[in-house]
Amino acid sequence: KLCEGILNILEKDTKTSCQTACLEALRILSRDKKVLVPVTTKRNMQILMRLAKLDAVEDPLERVSEFPVIVEALKCLCNIIFNSAVAQKLSLELNLAAMLCSLLKKCKDQQLVGDIKCFDLRLLFLLSLLHTDIRSQLRQELQGVQVLTQALESSLNVRWTGEYIAAEDHDRPPLSLQETNCAIEALKALFNVTLDSWNVHSKNESHQFRYMAAILRYCLLTTGPTEDKTEELHSNAINLLSNVPVSCLDVLITPSSQEETDIKYNGMSMGAIQILLDFMEKRIDKVWSVKIVLKYGFFRHIKQWMSVLFGSSYREGLTPVLSLLTECCRTHRNIRKFIKAQVCQIAIQI
């Protein structure tokens, strides 16, 4: 009844402050699946979509005072769709994915829309995760790969110096928390949309994936506001690279610059490959630390807890980067020889 009362208020043309307060309350209530059963209707979904500016296809995002309402409405939709199978079906019927793509395009080159963009991307990630039909719609009808790639590019503030070559500024500051979160949500949504994309059938697709791989190279060379956020950013970039056709991964290495900080091999910059090796080393260290605790843990309940928590997750965390490096080595000679040289160097030190 409380949820229904809130939605009845939201249906009316009330003040922005009242709408924001109502949506904040609804967001908290929408975490409970039982509460959602009576309120997950087409009418109520349309109310939230209207408040999130998902029905105004042509209207630009101009009124900054409305931005908090848009963000809270998107947050409510995220909770409701995640917790309700009925809402997931309604989202397909209401063509929610297309409206989210339109809103995302409006955010391009706009100021103060970071949170709107972030939760738009999160909702696209959830829809593409929970509904295979929406995943297909995004890829085939809505140019989802292109739209999401542009969102990732703008979140990372990529500047280009040549075809598939992004400008490298080793002195650039880390991404802000908001920029990092937006990039992570875009990476996760792109991962879902590009599943089963190993076979490239057209020149346009090849360009699209090469362009994406060049952005992902830049992403690997970028840091977030904290070490944990940087690892999360790089982890999602590696997951997405696993979906990129191997033939398009050659852009991970570029002609080397004259900068001393550049990691070079055979005239090519290997900075991104070194990041992948460092990432793999960190994951291997985690595997060994978990194994040591499991083997020599002093308290039985701690051993059991660690086993449940890390039993399979550490393997899942290591597999993508190992698979990616394996495919790169198999297909690209310079990458293979660089990694071989690194391994030999470690062996000599041992």
Over range 226-247, report the average pLDDT.
95
pLDDT tens, position by position, 187-222: 999 999 998 766 666 778 889 999 999 999 999 999
How far is it, in rounded angstroms, from Cα 81 to Cα 28? Answer: 14
Q: Distance from CA of residue 3 to its chain's centroid?
A: 31
Among 92, 123, 125, 120, CA closest to 106: 120
The token pair that represents 111 in the structure block: 């100021």
Of 30, 122, 124, nearest to 80 (Cα)? 30
Q: Say what the pLDDT of residue 171 is.
A: 80
Least confident of 218-222, 287-291, 323-327: 287-291
Tokens of residue 274, six digits: 């070194």
Q: Is residue 98 part of a domain?
A: yes
Round to whole Å and give the CA distance between 242 and 236: 10
Compute the distance between CA of residue 212 and CA of residue 244 in angstroms, rounded to an integer.
8
Residue 50 lies in a domain: yes
| DSSP conformational letter for 52 | T
Residue 51 lies in a domain: yes
Host domain of residue 35: 1-118
In terms of residues, how long is the chain? 350
- Decide if 191 is inside a domain: no
Q: In whole angstroms, how far apart are CA 255 and each of 24, 162, 212, 258, 272?
A: 50, 11, 18, 10, 13
Q: Is residue 135 part of a domain?
A: no
Residue 81 in any domain: the answer is yes
In a domain, 64, yes or no: yes
Name the β-bridge partners of 162: 165
Q: What is the pLDDT of residue 299?
A: 46
CA dist 233 and 7 (Å) reads: 36
Is residue 9 within 8 Å of residue 22, measured between CB atoms? yes
φ and ψ of 162, to 5 deg: -170, 180
Dist. CA 96–CA 110, nearest whole Å: 22
> Structural domain tally of the chain?
1
pLDDT of residue 101: 95
Q: At what angle do helices 16-29 and 2-11 cross, to 10 degrees?
A: 150
Q: Is 21 left (phi over 0), alpha (psi -120 to 50) or beta?
A: alpha
pLDDT band (50, 70, 90) for residue 309: very low
pTM of the model: 0.89
CA dist 122 to 71, 96, 187, 190, 258, Å? 11, 13, 10, 11, 40
Domain-located, residue 162:
no
Q: Across the chain, what does the average pLDDT equal?
A: 86
**pLDDT of 49 strictly over 80:** yes
